[in-house]
């Protein structure tokens, strides 16, 4: 049984190299709140993230866990837009003609959120907190 958990990265401890393997070890708190925990993520588990060293503090990740093991890590949001753009996998150039919202800012969450906002009764709402934007 896999379990989905959202975590807010607070500190990067180690970006594993030759000896430690292709992993990143970090501290994070459950989103929106909870006790700080330590997580190790394998490079192979990265979903929409280009490389593990681009994961930084103040990023929101969604993890799929099998027990303690992270099967999949997806970047959901970041406080810093430049860091978010840098970490996200590049969109293939063929798709550049079709403009697509890559991220939007939610003032309630105080982060840049990956993807497009929800459309709810004609209003744009944040996919994380469901508050109306604008
Ligand atoms: Zn929000």
CATH code assigned at 17: 2.40.50
**pLDDT value of residue 89:** 86
The reply to whether 55 falls in a domain is yes
State the distance from the centre of ligand 1 to the C-alpha of 16, rounded, in angstroms.
32
Q: What value does the mean pLDDT take over residues 91-111?
A: 75
Question: Would the pLDDT of 11 be above 80?
Answer: yes
The reply to whether 51 falls in a domain is yes
State the distance from the centre of ligand 1 to the C-alpha of 57, rounded, in angstroms.
18
Instruction: Give 21-60 pLDDT, tens digit per residue.
Output: 799 999 999 998 999 999 999 999 999 999 999 999 999 9
Q: What value does the mean pLDDT take over residues 110-125?
A: 93
Torsion 86-80-37-6 (CA) sign: negative
Centre a 10 Å sphere on the Cβ of residue 58 and count the other Cβ atoms it contains: 15
State the distance from the centre of ligand 1 to the C-alpha of 104, rounded, in angstroms.
10
Q: Quick one: 74 exposed, middle or buried, by C-beta within 10 A (0-12, 13-18, 19+)?
A: middle
Q: How many domains does the chain have?
A: 1
Confidence class of residue 120 from pLDDT cuts 50, 70 and 90?
confident
Residues with CB under 5 A from ligand 1 (ion): 106, 108-109, 126, 128-129
State the distance from the centre of ligand 1 to the C-alpha of 123, rounded, in angstroms.
14
Query: What is the pLDDT of the chain when averaged over all its residues?
Result: 90
Question: Domain of 41?
Answer: 3-78
Q: Are 103 and 84 in contact (CB under 8 A)?
A: yes
State the distance from the centre of ligand 1 to the C-alpha of 128, rounded, in angstroms.
5
Of 72, 80, 102, nearest in space to 89 by CA = 102
- pLDDT above 70 as % of the chain: 89
State the distance from the centre of ligand 1 to the C-alpha of 125, rounded, in angstroms.
8
């Amino acid at each position: 049984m896999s379990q989905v958990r959202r975590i807010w990265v607070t500190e990067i401890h180690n970006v594993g190299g030759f000896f430690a393997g292709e992993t990143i070890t970090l501290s994070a708190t459950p989103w929106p709140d909870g006790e700080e925990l330590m997580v190790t993520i394998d490079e192979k588990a990265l979903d929409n993230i280009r490389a593990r060293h681009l994961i930084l503090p103040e990023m929101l990740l969604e993890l799929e866990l099998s027990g303690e093991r992270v099967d999949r890590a997806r970047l959901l949001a970041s406080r810093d837009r430049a860091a978010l753009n840098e970490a996200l996998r590049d969109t293939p150039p063929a798709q550049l003609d079709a403009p697509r919202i890559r991220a939007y800012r939610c003032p309630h969450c105080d982060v840049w959120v990956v993807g497009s906002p929800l459309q709810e009764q004609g209003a744009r709402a944040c996919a994380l907190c469901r508050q109306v934007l604008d």
